[in-house]
Amino acid sequence: MAAAAAPSVVATTAGASTAVLSPRPAPASAFLRRTYVTSHRHPTLKCRRAGPLTPAAAAAAAGGSSPSSAVFHGEVFVVGDNIDTDQIIPAEHLTLVPSKPEEYRKLGSFAFAGLPSAAYPTPFVAPGEESTRYTVIVGGANFGCGSSREHAPVALGAAGARAVVAESYARIFFRNSVATGEVYPLELADAGAWKECKTGDVVTVDLGNSVFINHTSGKEYKLKPIGDAGPVIEAGGIFAYARKTGMIASKAAA
Amino acid sequence: MASSVSAAAKASAAFAHKKELAAATASATTQHRAGSSRRTKACRVRAVASPARAPSAPASTGSVKTAMTMTEKILARASERAGLEPGENVWVDVDVLMTHDVCGPGTIGIFKKEFGEDAKVWNREKVVIIPDHYIFTSDERANRNVDILRDFCMEQNIKYFYDIKDLSNFKANPDYKGVCHVALAQEGHCRPGEVLLGTDSHTCNAGAFGQFATGIGNTDAGFVLGTGKALLKVPPTIRFVLDGEMPPYLLAKDLILQIIGEISVSGATYKSMEFVGSTVESLNVRSLLKITLINCHSNMEERMTLCNMVIEAGGKNGVVPADETTFKYLEGKTSVEYEPVYSDAQARFFSDYRFDVSKLEPVVAKPHSPDNRALARECKDVKIDRVYIGSCTGGKTEDFLAAAKVFLASGKKVKVPTFLVPATQKVWMDVYSLPVPGSGGKTCSQIFEEAGCDTPASPSCGACLGGPRDTYARMNEPMVCVSTTNRNFPGRMGHKEGQIYLASPYTAAASALTGYVTDPRDFLM
């Protein structure tokens, strides 16, 4: 990506000098925190996402390896082509405000609630649960098409998914995933992977080596480099990127 | 001044009619990637290949400036660049940021978290806050979300906040407008050459005014609130040339459904869709009337319908070049100066599609995808349970006038529940006051009543996207609905097993009269 020349802008942050900012669980820097986390999801392990990562975890993450060498491991949830935002998070749940921690969690419990049960008999979030057992989502073409609702990547991330591996993305969903840091939107180099995967297969997503491995089937798939989103993801989301490139003033450090 | 299609290109235009389709392959259309659509057949591009790029070396022209499309020019101006190319990422100045009750609270939350509790928005006159999605409901969270918007607007002294407090009577709220995209247009916030961003995918609707308008998420919007800037990737432009006389049974909705069916729901991903041609210039529901002011209103609404569904093809934005129709529409609506831009004659387009509109027929999008196109007449055996006429796509004044025209022509009553949801207060008033041509002075509302439709409801997004359970006309059981809305993915209007046929207001009204999906020619010819 051509690094955009960043004319400096004075952000209208009245009172910025008075704020003492400890590492906050802000979605914008989610990528930096999660990068080195290798989450091994045991089939019996129930992972509760209580909310955005705690300040302790965030502090621990500071100085961790870059996002582009992240590795995710666990069970995969498989969907097909053109999975739209209404299937990812039905509109009746959009009264939940993602920036409120309790409502953020609730959104996670409704992730993929819109998938027709006939085609998808295994729910993404088990009944009565608030989060998912699946670390990775594999999809076909045009993943996330439809609405601009940021609730879509947020619901997936709040439920506990870490990465989506799809053939292609609808633009707003891709953009929202990068901006929020909720899930990595990764692209497969070739089509058809979703047809060779089954929900529940054990997989690894290795960003450093650009590969998606299905241990259950024994197949490997090449991932495309993260591309234009790279610098934004590397920085930790759109706000961090803007600060890094001098577009907006840096926040006062704790 | 208006963007022109070269004579040579016009001469070599192929026609988009099915019967004339030979094996026209997508030689120049490279936007289809492997597995880009659930349709396995190769995309049949029923159009001429894109014009060859001008091979002239820059030095020979004497000018270093590269020819640009409308979208490129708007983004260049907004990012203070002399020129730019598709694929570049640029920081642009935003002219208007819109948000509503569903995404506003989240956007505000991010704004405060990132810029501080006491932060102020970058420009209190460039933020337009429009509650419209979940309004007439007893859902407490939905109601609370409107309160959150109000608190923020008061704290920030936001100039344009179209508030609603009395949910039992929309007319008791003088500021309330209704559906954001229609309100933006009616209130003069859409201006040629500008950049308008909104926390809603149908923000592309505003491209009808010759501006760059697209949907963004809460995080991006929170960023814009604080800085007035957004990082945007410049999209290449696909040009759609629509020529030929518009048949009296077709509407802009048919044209855009035709196009989406052509290129698929991912056919315009990351691209701009530019609509030009003689048909676009004269889109007019009430072509029999020669009164210019009314015609221009009609034109603009039809252009909005075209641009509205750009997102359904995956498009980043849609544009229609501004012209007299646009300027007339804007008279009295805005005092902000604007400067339209137009694609250069030598601008490079990603690809070209050409349609002879006179040969097209009414179409629908069958469940469950906006690109699942079929001729309305081929679906005449599909029994339906209800009809819905509303939303930013199909709930404008022109849409209701069109539906009324069909009911008037029939003189009979509807066979299924027919729900009418005007997009805004203005539309609602038009429905109750504008005379329908050829009716002897009757208003739409009278015609609707005589036809046995439901009483026009309070203006809002309504059941287009389902919403809280008590939303008017929400599909709470599986049923078949013909709708003038924009999406028909599973569960879109409420029930996961509901079946939605997207259609024009003509087709929707015709279908209501028969109880089956019906080609409006059955009533209009």
B468 at interface of A, judged by CB pairs closer than 8 A: yes
The pLDDT of residue A226? 78
Bridge partners, A137 (sequence order): A77, A164
What helix, strand, coil percent values describe chain A, rounded to 5?
Answer: 30, 15, 55
Residues of A in contact with B86 (CB under 8 A): none
Contacts of B370 in chain A (CB under 8 A): none
Q: Is B443 helix (H, G, I), strand (E, B) or coil?
A: strand
Nearest CA in chain B to A189: B34
Question: Could you give the C-alpha distances from A114 to A92, A177, B200, B495, in angstroms and in order?
Answer: 10, 19, 19, 9
The number of beta carbons lying within 10 Å of the beta carbon of residue B196 is 26
Mutation pick from A1, A10, A12 vs chain B, by most beta carbons of B within 10 Å, is A12
Q: How far apart are CA A89 and CA A164, in angstroms?
A: 15
Q: In the predicted model, is pLDDT for residue B362 greater than 90?
A: yes
Tokens (6 digits) for B396: 């404008």
Cβ proximity of B421 and B454 under 8 Å: no
Name every chain B residue with its beta carbon within 8 A of the beta carbon of A140: 35, 38
Q: For residues B473 and B457, what is the distance between their CA atoms, to the nearest angstrom?
A: 10
Rounded to 10 degrees, the C-alpha dihedral B291/B294/B297/B300 comes to: -40
> What's the CA gap between A208 and B278, in Å, rounded?
53
Residue B284 confidence class, pLDDT cut points 50, 70, 90: low
Q: Is the pLDDT of residue B3 over 90?
A: no
Taking contacts as CB-CB distances below 8 angstroms, the residues of chain B near A145 are: 265-266, 314
- Hey, is the C-beta of B362 within 8 angstroms of any chain A C-beta? no
Contacting residues of A for B36, CB less than 8 Å apart: 141-142, 167-168
Q: Which domains does chain A have, with CATH numbers?
A: 75-245 (3.20.19.10)
- Inter-chain Cβ pairs, chain A and chain B, closer than 8 A: 220
Give the count of alpha carbons within 13 A of B361, CB side only: 15
At B285 the pLDDT is: 52
C-alpha B364/C-alpha B501 separation (Å) is 6
Q: Do A175 and B217 touch (CB under 8 A)?
A: yes
Identify which of B495, B199, B114, B144 has the alpha carbon closest to the alpha carbon of residue A96: B144
- Whole-prediction pTM: 0.84
Q: Which of residues B308 and B89 earns the better pLDDT score?
A: B308
Residue B20 sits at the vertex; the CA angle it makes with B17 and B25, to the nearest 5 degrees, is 90
C-beta atoms of B115 and A175 within 8 A: no
| B50 pLDDT above the threshold of 80 | no
* Residue B463: both structure tokens together: 């059941």
- Tokens 């749940």 appear where? A93
Q: How far apart are the first and last CA of chain A?
A: 32
What is residue B260's three-state secondary structure?
A: helix
Radius of gyration of the CA atoms of chain A, in A: 18
Give the one of A24, A28, A190 whose C-beta lies nearest to B34's C-beta: A190
Q: Which residue has the higher pLDDT, B233 or B11?
A: B233
Is the peptide bond prior to B368 cis by the omega test (within 30 degrees of 0)? yes
Percent of chain B with pLDDT over 70: 85
Q: Which of B36, B98, B114 to mutate to test the interface with A (most CBs of A within 10 A)?
A: B114
**B285-B401-B208-B7 Cα dihedral, nearest 10 degrees:** -10
Question: A94, B134: Cβ pair inside 8 Å?
Answer: yes
Q: What distance separates the 2 farthest-apart alpha carbons in chain B?
A: 69
Cβ–Cβ gap A82/B266 under 8 Å: yes
**Among B residues 183-222, those touching chain A with beta carbons less than 8 Å apart:** 199-201, 203, 215-220
Select from B360, B77, B70 the least CA-distant residue to B236. Answer: B70
**DSSP-based three-state secondary structure for A182:** coil
Query: Which of A11, A28, A150 shows the shortest C-beta gap to B226?
Result: A11
Longest dimension (CA), chain A: 56
B34 to chain A: closest CA residue: A191
Coil, strand or helix at B510: helix
Question: Is residue A219 exposed (0-12), middle (13-18) or buried (19+ Cβ within 10 Å)?
Answer: middle
Which residues of chain A neighbour B469 with C-beta distances below 8 Å? Answer: 92
- Mark yes or no for CB contact A13/B466 under 8 Å: no
Say whether A16 and B266 touch across the interface (CB within 8 A): no
Q: Under 8 Å CB-to-CB from B138, ≥6 apart: which residues?
A: B468, B470
* Angstrom distance (rounded) from CA A251 to CA B367: 49
Q: What angle do CA B170, B174, B176 make, to 5 degrees?
A: 60
Q: Alpha-carbon distance B116 to B398, whole Å?
A: 44
- What's the pLDDT score for residue B339? 97
Query: Tens digit of pLDDT for each residue in B451-507?
Result: 999 999 999 999 999 999 999 999 999 999 999 999 999 999 999 999 999 999 999
Distances (CA, A) of A170 to A82, A147, A187, B269, B314: 9, 10, 12, 6, 6
Return the residue matching tokens 């989103």. Answer: A229
Nearest residue to B458 (alpha-carbon basis) of B129, B92, B124, B166: B166
Domains and CATH numbers, chain B: 70-286+295-334+349-358 (3.30.499.10), 362-523 (3.30.499.10)
pLDDT surpasses 50 at B69: yes
Residues of A in contact with B110 (CB under 8 A): 27, 99
pLDDT at B54: 44
Contact B101, B198 (CB under 8 A): no
Helices (H), A123-188: 151-159, 171-180
The band of B157, judged by pLDDT with boundaries at 50, 70 and 90, is very high
Pairing, β B373-375 against β B363-365:
antiparallel
B residues 261..320 contacting A (CB < 8 A): 265-266, 269-270, 311, 314, 316
Token digits for B388? 């819905």
ipTM score assigned to the predicted complex: 0.82
Backbone angles phi, psi at B153, to 5 degrees: -65, -35
Q: Return the number of other C-beta atoms located less than 10 Å from residue B331's C-beta.
A: 10
Q: What is the mean pLDDT of chain B?
A: 89
Choose from B32, B89, B218 for mutation: most chain A CBs within 10 A.
B218
Provide the pLDDT for residue A53: 35
Amino acid at B118: D
Chain A residue with minimum CA distance to B311: A146
**Contact yes or no for B403/B431 (Cβ under 8 A):** no
Q: Which two tokens stand for residue B462?
A: 């309504």
B33 vs A146: CB contact, 8 Å cut-off?
A: no
Residue from A52, A123, A227 nearest B109 by CA: A52
Alpha-carbon dihedral sign for residues A135, A149, A186, A142: positive
* pLDDT band with cut points at 50, 70 and 90 for residue B293: low
For A141, the closest chain B residue by CA position comes to B36
Residues A149, A92 contacting (CB under 8 angstroms): no
Structure tokens at B499: 């079946």
Low-confidence ranges of chain A (pLDDT < 70): 1-68, 251-254
Residue B206 confidence (pLDDT) above 80: yes
Best of B39, B203, B266 to disrupt the A interface (most A CBs within 10 Å) is B266
A200 token code pair: 């529940």
Partner-chain contact A97 B109, CB within 8 Å: yes
Chain A contact for B12 (CB, 8 A cutoff): no
B195-198 and B212-215 beta bridge pairing: parallel
Instruction: Give the whole-number percent of chain B exceeding pLDDT 90.
Output: 83
Q: Number of C-alpha atoms within 13 angstroms, CB side, residue B358? A: 5
Amino acid at A144: G
pLDDT tens digit sequence for B400-446: 999 999 999 999 999 999 999 999 999 999 999 999 999 999 999 99
Each residue's pLDDT tens digit, B235-250: 999 999 999 999 999 9
For B90, the closest chain A residue by CA position comes to A4
What distance in Å separates residue B490's CA from the closest CA in chain A? 7
